[in-house]
Amino acid sequence: MNRQNGVTQPGKWIWLILTALVVGLGGVRSAQAHANLVRSEPAAGSALADAPTVVVLVFSEALDARATSVELRDEQSRLVVAGPGVIDPAQPQLLQLPLLSAAGGSPLPDGTYSAIWQARSAVDGHVTVGTVAFAIGGEALPASLLPPPGAPEPATALPAAVDSLARWLNYVAATVAAGSLLFGWLVWQPVYQRWGEATDASDKQATALLKRLAAWGCGVWAAATVLFVGVQAGAVNAGSLWSGVAIIAGGRSGILAGARLALLAWLALLIRRMPDAGSGRAGLWKLATAVSGAALLTFSLQSHSAALGGGQAVVAAAVDWLHLLAMSAWLGGLLPLARLLWSGQAPAGLATQIVPRFSRLALSSVGILLWTGVHNTWVHVQTVEALAATTHGRALSLKLGLFMVLLILGAINLLWLTPQLRPPLAAAEAAAVRRLGRTMRLEMALGVGVLLLAGVMLGVAPAFEALTAQQRLGFRESVRVEDVQLVLRIAPLHVGENEFAVDVQDRRAGAEESPPLALLRFRSENEAMGELQVEMTETEGGRFVARGAYLANAGNWQVEVILRRAGFDDARHTFDVVVETEHHQHGDSQGE
């Protein structure tokens, strides 16, 4: 047998590829993941004595000018100023809509207006939408700060199913491709070279399997990348899919997708040329592994981590990349390990050689995953409330739960089953392999779930940012009273005038035939203020509204919602609300 250990200087290729892409990290702009609206001029809900000459929207990160727009409509939803607005390259986070030039040089007449915007992040490619309403003149109807009934909540918005599917396919394929190559280099090669009973036939069998898995992963990864570009193109609302593709192709997302496809094409060529994994030259295996790692880095360059501000982007994206590598080494290595053990053609005693080696790699990967996972959680979640109250945080909680089960299964494999795979070989080894097979199947199934949750997490805003965006909308709390769902909203939630809305879903039989009445009762911790009751006005979509200076002082308030229908018991609930002064809230928002 020829057991030469290869190519002399593959390291130079590895470092050239990885260095080039890491340098690309330095070009990542400081930002917050997702382009969320931070503030506006005029401010949302403001009442102006004079008409503004421009609407200014300030976002949390740089905008993609080709897929970002704003237009102005009046209270009858008639188009007043078409947009799309102006983005100054020197201030890519700022979107302006000039009003005088679009209106023929005349100021806007008195009335209520809504600036309706769509913003696409130039960093992570996510699209966000929203509205800023304001009023002009003393006779104008007050502009509402409340989102319309049924509008998605920033904290609990769900990603589009096709978006999560495209991300999941990318992760599964990437894990299989990179994991198979890492397995060949770090597990099979050292096992083959040290195992006295290894044969050329076993090496060729293992090589064929690893190359087949890597090629399959590479092909699906390329197809999933094209699918994801199509999904992003559809999200920009450019009028047609091809227009959207043109927008994506010319931006950061398109550049990274193009780089990934080029790397995958290179990887496919390398896979065809790679020699036997154990006895052949190791250089091409190392180079192919480096290329797959570079392709993984394109994920990190478009992740939430790459969109961090404050000079954290490079470090955070590098940590994210390490997380992906460790995930690929562990979860991606399970499939070739399982196929080798269950192929029926594996030489006797293979399990006693290869399982301990893979266990050591998996243990190292788990350590990296724990460290990088804690780092990412600290950066993107920050608070227990953000973990519990957002889609991103809840998906992370489920992911952590699956990860803990994976750790338990890994511990069983390492501490109980692996010690049973030792000479002398006998029926005990076969029984241990069968038990190992059961735990590995479960590990792979859980790994698929972990990757799906990772796709969901990347399809929504990070937990802390989503919670902050939700809090900018004021107070919102939902409760179910038997068969009645009550959602109380208060905006902007400060001392003085506020808007109040109660969204009602009454599922009691026959309730729709009885006209509803909604009341609010206000009680302050200052007992001297007594109790105040307000009757609300019903609008469309099962919403009841009221406006007034009912929260007269800062502190703790109890706001009781009462829904009455003739022939039914009252549905009521008391919400605990903490009210701050307008000055304090304004100071907080400026500091964000």
> Are 262 and 291 a contacting pair, CB within 8 Å?
no
Question: Phi/psi class of residue 344: alpha, beta or left (left: φ > 0; alpha: ψ in -120 to 50)?
Answer: left
pLDDT attached to residue 37: 82
* Chain segment 469-490, per-residue pLDDT in tens: 888 888 999 999 989 999 999 9
Burial of 293 (C-beta count, 10 Å sphere; 0-12/13-18/19+): buried
Largest CA distance in the chain: 94
Q: What is the DSSP string of 124-171?
A: T--EEEEEEEEEESTTSPPPP-SPPTTPPPTTT----HHHHHHHHHHH
Domain end position, chosen among 418, 451, 467: 467
Q: How far apart are CA 561 and CA 547, in angstroms?
A: 15
Q: Are residues 123 and 181 both part of a single domain? A: no
Q: How far apart are CA 134 and CA 145, in angstroms?
A: 9
> Are 255 and 298 a contacting pair, CB within 8 Å?
no
Q: Are residues 49 and 22 both part of a single domain? A: no
* Mean pLDDT value across residues 118-124: 80
- For the chain, the straight-line distance linking the first and the last C-alpha, in angstroms and rounded, comes to 66
Cis peptide before 424 (omega within 30 of 0): yes
**Helix ranges (DSSP H) in 459-499:** 463-472
pLDDT attached to residue 417: 60
For the chain, the C-alpha Rg in angstroms (whole number) is 29
pLDDT attached to residue 423: 54
Domain end position, chosen among 415, 437, 467: 467
pLDDT attached to residue 193: 84
Q: Cα dihedral sign for 231, 236, 240, 242?
A: negative
Q: How far apart are CA 152 and CA 467, in angstroms?
A: 13
Question: Phi/psi class of residue 175: alpha, beta or left (left: φ > 0; alpha: ψ in -120 to 50)?
Answer: alpha
Does pLDDT of 263 surpass 90? yes
Lowest mean pLDDT among 1-15, 71-85, 496-510: 1-15
Lowest mean pLDDT among 23-32, 92-101, 117-126, 294-303: 23-32
Higher pLDDT: 196 or 235? It is 235
Question: E strand or H helix at 521, and its extent?
Answer: strand 516-524
Query: What is the length of the chain?
Result: 592
Residue 516 lies in a domain: yes
Q: Are residues 78 and 113 both part of a single domain? A: yes
Q: Are residues 195 and 260 both part of a single domain? A: yes
Task: Work out whether strand 37-41 and strand 54-59 pair parallel, antiparallel, or are unpaired.
Answer: antiparallel
* Chain segment 150-181, per-residue pLDDT in tens: 777 888 888 888 988 999 999 999 999 999 99
pLDDT attached to residue 31: 36
Q: Average per-residue pLDDT in the chain?
A: 82
Q: Are residues 258 and 318 both part of a single domain? A: yes
**Domain holding 68: CATH number?**
2.60.40.1220
**Domain holding 484: CATH number?**
2.60.40.10
Higher pLDDT: 432 or 448? It is 448
- Supply the range of the domain harboring residue 54: 37-136
Q: Are residues 244 and 347 both part of a single domain? A: yes
Report residue 506's pLDDT band, with 50, 70 and 90 as the boundaries. Answer: very high
Residue 153 lies in a domain: no
Q: Are residues 292 and 181 both part of a single domain? A: yes
Q: Are residues 478 and 412 both part of a single domain? A: no
Does pLDDT of 398 surpass 80? yes
Does pLDDT of 15 surpass 60? no
Lowest mean pLDDT among 202-211, 229-238, 326-335, 385-394: 229-238
**For the packed helices 427-458 and 161-183, what is the interaxial angle rounded to 10 degrees?**
140
Higher pLDDT: 65 or 21? It is 65
pTM of the model: 0.78
**Percent above pLDDT 70 for the chain:** 82
Residue 3 lies in a domain: no
* Mean pLDDT value across residues 480-505: 91
**Percent above pLDDT 90 for the chain:** 33
Q: Are residues 500 and 435 both part of a single domain? A: no
Residue 416 lies in a domain: yes
Q: Are residues 191 and 330 both part of a single domain? A: yes
pLDDT attached to residue 469: 82
Q: Which of 177, 368, 187 is nearest to 288 (CA)?
A: 177
Report residue 32's pLDDT band, with 50, 70 and 90 as the boundaries. Answer: very low
Residue 62, number of CB atoms within 10 A of its CB: 21
Q: Are residues 131 and 186 both part of a single domain? A: no
Residue 285 lies in a domain: yes
Domain end position, chosen among 440, 467, 494: 467
Map tokens 């029984």 to a residue: 431
* Mean pLDDT value across residues 142-150: 76
The domain total for the chain is 3
Residue 5 lies in a domain: no
pLDDT attached to residue 5: 38
Residue 151 lies in a domain: no
Q: Are residues 247 and 368 both part of a single domain? A: yes
Structure tokens at 446: 């859980």
* Mean pLDDT value across residues 197-205: 78
Residue 144 lies in a domain: no
